[in-house]
Structure 1
Amino acid sequence: MGAVKTKRMPRAVREQQMLDAAVRTFGRRGYMAASMDEVAELAGVSKPLVYLYLNSKEDLFTACIRRESAALVAAIRSGIRPELPADRQLWDGLRAFFTHTSHYPDAWSVLHLQARTHGEPFASEVAAMRADIVEFVTQLIVVAAREAHRDPDLPESEVAGVAEALVGAAESLADWANTTPGVSARQAAATLMNFAWAGLGDLMEGRRWTPPDPAQEAAG
C-alpha cells in the first residue's frame, strides 16, 4: 500500500495562522524588531512560505492592521442595539471596545502603538479605522441630541468634537487598562461613562458650558 497522504491545509486557513503569528510578534516585539523568521517559526511554516503568501514584511504588517481594524469595528458595532436609549448604546459600545482591546492586547498594540509610529502607509490605515469609529460615535450622539432637542436639523458639528474627544479618551484608557492589573473591561467602560455622560447629558438638555469673555480672560 502507498503512503497515506495528509490533507493540505487550505490557503485561507494557513494565511490566518500567519497573521495570528504576525500580530503576536509585532504586538510584543514592535514592528522594527520583529522578523519574518520569528513569524514563520511561530506560525509553524517556512519563511519562504510567508513571503509567498504575504509578499513582504510591510505587506504582512498592513494585512495585520486591516484585519484587526475590521475586527475592532465589527466588535463595537455588534455590541450596540439601536433600539436602546442613547446612554445604554454608548455604554454597550464602550464595553464592547474595552472587552475587545483587553482580549486582544497584541492587536491593540499593533493598531494603537505600532502602526501610528512607523509612518505611511500604516498610519493611514489606522486613521481610516479611527475615522470610521468617530463617525459611528458621532451619529450615535447626534441622533440622541436631535431627539432631545426636538430639532431634526441639529448639525453634526455640534457633537463631532465630543465624539472625537470620547474616542481619544477611550484609546488612552484602553492602554491604561491593559497595563494596570485588576482593571476589567467593565470597569474601564464605567470610568469613561462616569467621565463623559454628565457632559453629554448637559448637551442633550441644551446646557452648555460657556467660555469666559476674551476680554475678561485677558484681564486675568
Structure 2
Amino acid sequence: MPREVRERQMMDAAVATFGQRGYRAASMDEIAELAGVSKPLVYLYLNSKEDLFTACIRREADALLAAVRAGVVEPDLAPDEQLWAGLTAFFAHTADNPDAWSVLHRQARTHGESFAAEVGAMRGELVDLVTGLLRDAGRASPASPDLGDRDVVGVAQALVGAAEALAGWANETPGVSAKEAASTLMNFAWTGLGRLLEGERWSAAVPGGRLS
C-alpha cells in the first residue's frame, strides 16, 4: 500500500479516536487497531502522540478552511450572499465531520498552548475572510458610513465566534441542517450589520439605545 494511503488511514483513525475519546484518553494502541496497523508503524510514520495530534489539527483545519473558501468563490455574488454561502459551507463541513470538529473546537483548545495556537491560526484566517466580506459590504452600500478597522474586525471576530458556538449546538441538536444554522446566524448578524452600515449605533447613554 502506498505510504500516503497508509498514512491517511492512520490520520483518519487518529481523528476519530481523538474526537470521540479526547486527547488524554486516546491511546496509540487504539489508533493503530482502528487503522489496522501495528503501533510501531504508527510511530514510524507519525512520530509521537503529540506530533500525531498536531498533524490531525493541521489537516482538519486546512480542510475546514478549504470548504469555507470554496463556498465564497463566486465573485459576482453580493457580500451577503457570499457570507451566506461561506456559513452554509462551514456548518455543512462541521456537521459532516463531527470528530474533526471535536478535535478543532474542543480538544485542541484545552490541551496545551501549542495545540491552541494551531487552531488560533485557522481562526485568524476565518476572521480575515469574514473581514474582507464585511469591507466589501461597506463599499457596496451607498449609505454606509466610513467604518473603522476596529469596527469591521470586531464584528468579524464576533461572527466567527458565534459560528463556532452555533456549530457545536447544531451538531448536538437532531434535525438542525447547515442551512438552518446559517440562516439563524444571518438573521442575527446581518440584520444588525445592515443597521450599522446605515449609520445606526447603540449607546447606553441615549434613551432607546440607538443613534441614527
* Shared fold per TM-score greater than 0.5: yes
1:54 corresponds to which residue?
46
Q: What pairs up with 1:88-107 in 2 under 5 angstroms?
A: 88-107=81-100
TM-score, length-scaled by structure 2? 0.92
Residue in structure 2 matching 1:76, options 35, 48, 68: 68
Q: Which amino acid aligns with 1:198?
A: T
Identity over aligned residues, as a percent?
69
Following superposition, the deviation at residue 87 of structure 1 comes to 1.2
**Contact in 2 for aligned 1:146/1:152 (Cα 8 Å):** no
**Contact in 1 for aligned 2:145/2:199 (Cα 8 Å):** no
2:210 corresponds to which residue?
none
Following superposition, the deviation at residue 157 of structure 1 comes to 2.0
TM-score, length-scaled by structure 1? 0.89
1:74-109 per-residue CA deviation (whole Å, 9 max, x = no partner) reads: 000001123211111111011000000000000000
Q: Which amino acid aligns with 1:60?
A: L
1:150-179 per-residue CA deviation (whole Å, 9 max, x = no partner) reads: 789754222111010000000000000000
Following superposition, the deviation at residue 144 of structure 1 comes to 1.3
Q: Pick the structure with greater CA Rg.
A: 1
**Contact in 1 for aligned 2:109/2:116 (Cα 8 Å):** yes
Give the match's secondary structure for 2:23: coil
Q: Which amino acid aligns with 1:133?
A: L
- Aligned mates of 1:115, 1:57 — CA distance in 2: 13
The runs of 5 or more residues in structure 2 that have no matched partner are 207-212
1:210 aligns with 2:203: yes
Total equivalences in the alignment: 205
1:117-147 per-residue CA deviation (whole Å, 9 max, x = no partner) reads: 0012100000000011011101110121123
Q: What pairs up with 1:191-210 in 2 under 5 angstroms?
A: 191-210=184-203
In structure 2, relative to structure 1, the CA distance for the partners of 1:28 and 1:90 (3 Å cut) is: same
- Aligned mates of 1:210, 1:154 — CA distance in 2: 17
The runs of 5 or more residues in structure 1 that have no matched partner are 1-8, 214-220
